[in-house]
Amino acid sequence: MTDRGTFPAHGTPAAELEAQLGDMRAGDLDWRGGKAFSLVYNSGDERHEALLETVGHSYQHDNALNPFAYPSLLQIEIELIAMAAGLLGAPPDAGALTAGGTQSIFCAVQVARDHARAERGIAEPKLVTPRTAHPAFAKAAHYLDIEHVLVPVGADGRVDLAALDGLVDDRTGLVVASAPNYPFGVIDDVASVAALASDRGALCHVDGCLGGWLLPWWAELGEPVPPWDLRVPGVTSLSADIHKYGYSFKGASVVLYADRALLRHQHFWYDEWPGGTYASSGPAGTRPAPPIAAAWFAVRHLGADGYLEKARQVRDATRAFQAAVEAVPGLRITHEPDLSLFEFTDDRGRIDAIAAGMHDRGWHLDRQQGGLHLMLSPHHATVVDEFAADLARTAADAEPVEGGDATGPDAGYGGIAGRRS
Ligand SMILES: *Cc1c(COP(=O)(O)O)cnc(C)c1O
């Protein structure tokens, strides 16, 4: 008999598989409980979730690869891109939907590479990013075989402009600024970065994957928000994830360009294939329809007033969590955040013990190189008192650890549930 490894010889009854999945999921991240601070952006609104599930379900089996087979998806996509463009300062047709922030960033880097080659005659353009920029840029540089130059950041967590000035040269194809960056929640000086890039003829991408769907409302709440989007002269592309603060489920992001001519570098068209002409607007082939339809539904259903209200909840939760951290003697926010996320550390050497103690109390705080990381969603407002009490108790119980810190092989995303001791 052919050896097929673990491939099932016979079908398994659905009830058995469902039960098995239920058991397997017992250890999964419990984001609904409000004790997780990354990966899922909890809108705090189960009715909203249910509506999106219904929309997603109705599109479950459709394929957005060929929008002409699905006029509804074509219309949804065009409208969603135009709405995002209106929010973030792009022409209404100069963008594309992707499955996530990493893909949006990949597209922007590829466009910049091909723009440098086609328009500027630079065979091997370079990508220049702050050290704090998301690893998606390093990944894109790796896959696209582009030299990646890292720029240090200053004490405030923003890219060091003097260092940037020295590192952008006539081979630079793309310069990146984050709005905000993930580790510290601070926004780079986008206007200065974009001006510097534009002076040298380079493109400038703003990574608004995290902030793109929150910053517009943050500003409307009266919070200080420096200019950061495609309205800033010199900014040529922007990524913004709808599956984060756009409050839709996973698989929806948008990449926008200052000019539709740039987007054209992202389009792929091939007619050497016996199967016929093949065209796509980005790297994906078959594309799931549910995230696209649900993202459109989320934006239309919430609208500016809905997003503003959720932003108010996020802002208030952020202030409350900052206060909870600052109320504990020794704990310190490492960089004054511009948005809804921050890193904190302990000046008394207990951060590792605090990480472990909070984990034992059910809190999933991400470990970073310089401390613990919190990112707030609307739902967190309901758990802030419990958090404050647990943090104070944990810190009081924590013994300083020799050389203790939150860093190590299990730091970051992968260290969410990790314990070092
Ligand atoms: C989440 C994030 C990304 C990557 O997005 P994915 O959807 O995880 O692929 C990029 N940049 C920032 C700042 C992010 O927060």
Tokens at 162, concatenated: 């003097």
- Ligand 1 center to residue 82 CA distance, Å? 21
Phi/psi class of residue 234: alpha, beta or left (left: φ > 0; alpha: ψ in -120 to 50)?
Answer: left
Neighbouring residues of 327: CB distance < 8 A, sequence distance ≥ 6: 388, 392
Query: Measured from the CB, is residue 176 less than 6 Å from ligand 1?
Result: no
What pLDDT is stored for residue 176 in this prediction?
A: 99
Query: Measured from the CB, is residue 115 less than 6 Å from ligand 1?
Result: no
What pLDDT is stored for residue 266 in this prediction?
A: 97
Helix/strand/coil percentages in the chain, nearest 5: 40, 15, 40
- Ligand 1 center to residue 212 CA distance, Å? 11
Neighbouring residues of 15: CB distance < 8 A, sequence distance ≥ 6: none
Q: Which residues of the chain have pLDDT under 50?
A: 406, 408-421
pLDDT per residue as tens digits for the range 51-76 = 999 999 999 999 888 888 999 999 99
* CA 329/CA 418 separation, integer angstroms: 25
Within 131-200, where are the H helices? 135-144, 161-167, 190-199
- Ligand 1 center to residue 206 CA distance, Å? 12
Buried b (16+ CB within 10 A) or exposed e, 154-170: eeebbbbbebbeebbee
Pocket test for ligand 1, best of 134, 139, 239 (most atoms within 8 A of CB): 134
What 3-state class would DSSP assign to 8?
A: coil
Tokens 């769907």 -> residue: 213
* CA 228/CA 216 separation, integer angstroms: 10
What pLDDT is stored for residue 402 in this prediction?
A: 61
Neighbouring residues of 228: CB distance < 8 A, sequence distance ≥ 6: 177, 179, 187, 190, 206, 208, 211, 215
Query: Measured from the CB, is residue 133 less than 6 Å from ligand 1?
Result: no
* CA 195/CA 219 separation, integer angstroms: 22
Which amino acid belongs to residue 81?
I
- Point out which residues pair with 270 in neighbouring strands: 278
Question: If you write DSSP's letter for every residue of 13-51 in order, what string do you get?
Answer: -HHHHHHHHHHHGGGS--GGGT-B-SS----S-HHHHHH
CB atoms within 10 A of CB 385: 11
CB 206 within 8 A of CB 237: yes
pLDDT per residue as tens digits for the range 65-118 = 888 899 999 999 999 999 999 999 999 999 999 999 999 999 999 999 999 999
- Ligand 1 center to residue 337 CA distance, Å? 17
Angle subtended at Cα 237 by Cα 236 and Cα 241, rounded to the nearest 5 degrees: 160
pLDDT per residue as tens digits for the range 241-298 = 999 999 999 999 999 999 999 999 999 999 999 999 999 999 999 999 999 999 999 9
What pLDDT is stored for residue 41 in this prediction?
A: 87
Q: What's this model's pTM, rounded to 2 decimal places?
A: 0.94
What pLDDT is stored for residue 401 in this prediction?
A: 64
* CA 34/CA 44 separation, integer angstroms: 9
Q: Output the residue whose Cα is nearest ligand 1's atom 5.
A: 101
Query: 127 burial class (0-12, 13-18, 19+ CB within 10 angstroms)?
Result: buried
* CA 148/CA 172 separation, integer angstroms: 10
| Farthest-apart Cα atoms in the chain, separation | 71
Query: Measured from the CB, is residue 186 less than 6 Å from ligand 1?
Result: no
Using alpha carbons, select from 178, 113, 181 the residue that is nearest to residue 142. 113
